[in-house]
Structure 1
Amino acid sequence: MCLGIPAKLDSIDETADDFFRTGKISFGGISRTVSLAMLTDAKPGDYVLVHAGVALSVITEQEAATVFEYLKMSGELDEEGLPDT
């Protein structure tokens, strides 16, 4: 099953242009670098929905918490190897 995982955007690598821009995200104690090519207006502190290494949309903190709760209830966090924060 394909999942969009909510994550907090911690920082942005400002050295690249908008298309190659990347950012550091964190979710459930895990940190990753993702592409921000689709979100030129995202900024540190935003919550984003991430799939396959690409941030797809900016979401609210409440939306992120709700999605994590749904993933936790469905057991998807276990299947994906993510901690249930």
Structure 2
Amino acid sequence: MCLGVPGQIVKIGDNALQLASVDVCGVQREVNISLICDDDPQALLGKWVLVHVGFAMSIIDEDEAKQTQEALLAMSQLEHEVGDFLGLNQK
């Protein structure tokens, strides 16, 4: 399964062909912004985006981003608990 992950643009280059730094749950990664940048890339600073395979695919609002982050974290916790239940996460 492929997921888009929400992140916030925290640093940006001078043009849409450069990479931007996106913060995803405290981890910063470089992503390509060419798919979402129509004009001045600096206008994207602070925006929330949906990141998939190194590309910012779309701009999303902060509430949607935070709800998605919470859901992804909950799914991760549920996966761990199901693994424990099935005996997959034995130490």
TM-score, normalised relative to structure 1 = 0.78
Q: Deviations over 1:64-83 (max 9, x none)?
A: 1010111112117x78xxxx
Aligned to 1:83: none
Unaligned runs of 5+ in 2: 81-91
Task: Name the CA distance, whole Å, in 2 between partners of 1:59 and 1:21.
Answer: 20
Task: Name the CA distance, whole Å, in 1 between partners of 2:19 and 2:75.
Answer: 30
Match for 2:33 among 33, 36, 39? 36
Write the mapping of 1:2-41 to structure 2, written as runs, cut at 5 A.
Answer: 2-14=2-14, 16=15, 18=16, 20-41=17-38
Task: Name the CA distance, whole Å, in 1 between partners of 2:59 and 2:21.
Answer: 14
Q: Which runs of 4+ in 1 moved over 3 A?
A: none
Unaligned runs of 5+ in 1: 80-85
TM-score, normalised relative to structure 2 = 0.73
User: Over alpha carbons, which structure has the higher Rg?
Assistant: 2
| Secondary structure at 1:71 match in 2 | helix
